[in-house]
Amino acid sequence: MAKFPVPKQPERKSERFDGFRGVDFSTDPTQVSSKRSPWALNMISDSGGHPEKRVGWRTLATADGAINGIFHCELSGVGKFLVHAGTMLYEWNMETNVLIALKSGIANAKSTCFVMNGKAYILTGSEFLVYDGTDVKSVSEIAYVPTTSISMNPAGGGTTYEEINLIQPKRKNSFLADGVSKVYQLDTTEITDVLEVIVNGNTVTEYTVDTSLGRLTFTTAPAKPAIDGQDNVFITFSKTVSGYADRICKCTIATIYGGAGSDRVFLSGNPEMKSTDWVCSLNNPTYWPDFGYTNIGADGTAIVGYARIGDYLAIFKEDNQQDSTIYLRYVLQNSSTGKTAFAVKQGISGVGALAKRAFGYLLDEPLFVSRTGIYALTSNEITYTQAVRNRSYFVDAKLTKEPNLKDAIAAVWKGYYVLCVDGRCYILDGNQNKAYKPQSYGEYVYECYYWDNIPAQCFMVWQGHLFFGTEDGKVCRFSDDRETMDRYSDDGEAIAAEWRSKATDHGDFMRLKTLVKKGSGMMAKPYVRSSVEVIIRTDQDWGKTARVENMSAFDFNDVDYDKFSFVTNDSPQMIPFNSKTKKYSTIQIIVRNTEKDEGFGVFGIILRYTAGNYVK
């Protein structure tokens, strides 16, 4: 009986994808590293760096009007939460999630808050408010009243002592009475009113005032002081200078700095004086001296934000093709007088800042957003020179196309820099090893991730938890505090999570390949409740579903009987594709989970294939 030769079977080859890092939007899906995804949605690194579905979020409280700010304040040792919603300021009881009205009729605009001396100060771009834990007032109501002149004769003169306070119109003059003169000339004219007169410790009311000349005439001449040379007549008056209070009230950016300490507040962001900032008096944000301002760089180029770098305060300005975009403020201490002054020097030209609510510190380096990506301000340890370096290379192709990037907000949370704009988040991962790209000038860039359905317009981080406010009045938090599977839903709705492999040609784009039916699959991270849809996409086929698999593990504490699998092993789950795909040049594997209250993570993907004819 004749024997026929057995046809030779094509050699089976394999390609493995594992050690996943993050996304890479910088190039074509065929050109990315096998460790990164050309498209991944709502994934984040776990403690080992593997991609898993992000946690969801939930609504805690609801207010009328957009949430313009959420703030945690330590006021004299008592923690308080403030919520600025629409035209209302609330105290938020986090235990009951009740919003208690504190003040109405405030500006409906993004707000800024800082704390000093046990009080919270709030800027809305129209008002400057203060909250002491009980009442909310305009800062002008409690503002410091400076003594502008001392040792004055009744006819005027004397010594200039303190600068006027921009935030309120009151001033005080201190006179030395001669026992004869009735007419007392103030140190300015065109005053608004005289508020109080004290002579030798007693309040006096018998006088007339010429507001135009700034002159007060007593009915009886004040007596000389009991102690020679000691001022004994104190006149408090007001003079309103148009626009002075607005210089402070229209600010929208605040930072605390003082060189080695933190005893001054600097404000900027006034749209009418974009390149100017102001500094308060020592430890006193109710006193803003009228000469306590600095014009930073080119006039009309806006200050966008601040960051502390060593003993310097970096001042970031918007893009300017002619001038420096980063300046450095430092302290000058006068050894003879003990007075502190602040000087500014030019820092870096080129990359300007764009989003004033997107500054943050990741791994102790300040990050900011520009039109070309997210940058870090770095300092050379040897030369102490500063430089800016791109840190967001892997998402820049998408990030820089965001139409409202200037309105982006950011928070640093659990080692991630989270930048949110129009419901989309770009994540820089400070927990993984860095990557090195030429775009970082020999330095590193961060691994990155991308999320959607995060409707945040303001962030607050408190005790390692991330909260946000929405345009429709919701106060929300990410559900990282929950251990149950409902942590994987967005306000009760499913999170669509997806990881795509690179589009691989297995090292030979001129050969047609066939994915064999057996031997290909993925290793999935185990969860109490999980499932996966596997889609195979090739250059010939937009995508076919190869497998839908329930991967839930058994846990009496969290059982969904509709998806109960009787799997009790909490080891990684192996999901074979069991699908044959013919005559492709490139192939891409998409694994996704779109189910509510389900976790999802991927450890690796392996493909087994045979090589066939050349591409014709």
The pLDDT, as a whole number, for residue 550 is: 83
Output the average pLDDT for the chain. 92
Query: Is the Cβ–Cβ distance between 610 and 12 less than 8 Å?
Result: yes
Which single residue is written with the structure tokens 């050349």? 614
Map residue 611 onto helix, strand or coil: strand
Domain assignment present for 68: no
Domain-ending residue, one of 199, 223, 238: 238
How far is residue 412's CA from residue 366's CA, in Å, rounded to a whole number? Answer: 11
Domain assignment present for 465: no
Domain-ending residue, one of 208, 238, 268: 238
The pLDDT, as a whole number, for residue 378 is: 86
Q: What domain range is 588 assigned to? A: 12-34+495-614
Domain assignment present for 407: no
pLDDT tens sequence across 23-43 = 999 999 999 999 999 999 999
Instruction: Kindly tell me the burial class for residue 138, based on how many C-beta atoms sit within 10 Å of its own C-beta (0-12, 13-18, 19 or more).
Output: middle
- Phi, psi dihedral angles at 531 (to 5 degrees): -160, 170
How far is residue 321's CA from residue 351's CA, in Å, rounded to a whole number? Answer: 9
Domain assignment present for 519: yes
Residue 552, pLDDT > 90, answer no
pLDDT tens sequence across 266-277 = 999 999 999 999
Q: Where are the alpha helices (DSSP H) in 328-415?
A: 396-399
Number of neighbours of residue 226 by Cβ within 10 angstroms: 9
User: What CATH number is given to the structural domain containing 603?
Assistant: 2.60.120
H or E element that contains 142: helix 139-142
How far is residue 253's CA from residue 316's CA, in Å, rounded to a whole number? Answer: 12
How far is residue 220's CA from residue 224's CA, in Å, rounded to a whole number? Answer: 12
Domain assignment present for 545: yes
Domain-ending residue, one of 214, 238, 262: 238
Domain assignment present for 179: yes
User: Span 417-443, mean pLDDT?
Assistant: 87
The pLDDT, as a whole number, for residue 571 is: 81
Question: pTM for this one?
Answer: 0.92
* Tokens linked to 85: 């919603």
Q: Which residue has the higher pLDDT, 616 or 200?
A: 200
Domain assignment present for 211: yes
Number of folded domains in the chain? 2
CA torsion through residues 439, 440, 442, 444, sign = negative
Query: Is the Cβ–Cβ distance between 234 and 338 less than 8 Å?
Result: no
Phi/psi-derived region of residue 173, left when phi > 0, alpha when psi is between -120 and 50, beta in every other case: beta
Domain assignment present for 558: yes
How far is residue 231's CA from residue 117's CA, in Å, rounded to a whole number? Answer: 31
- pLDDT band at residue 574 under the 50/70/90 scheme: very high
Residue 75, pLDDT > 80, answer yes
pLDDT tens sequence across 436-475 = 876 656 689 999 999 999 999 999 999 999 999 999 999 9
- pLDDT band at residue 540 under the 50/70/90 scheme: confident
Percent of the chain with pLDDT over 70: 93
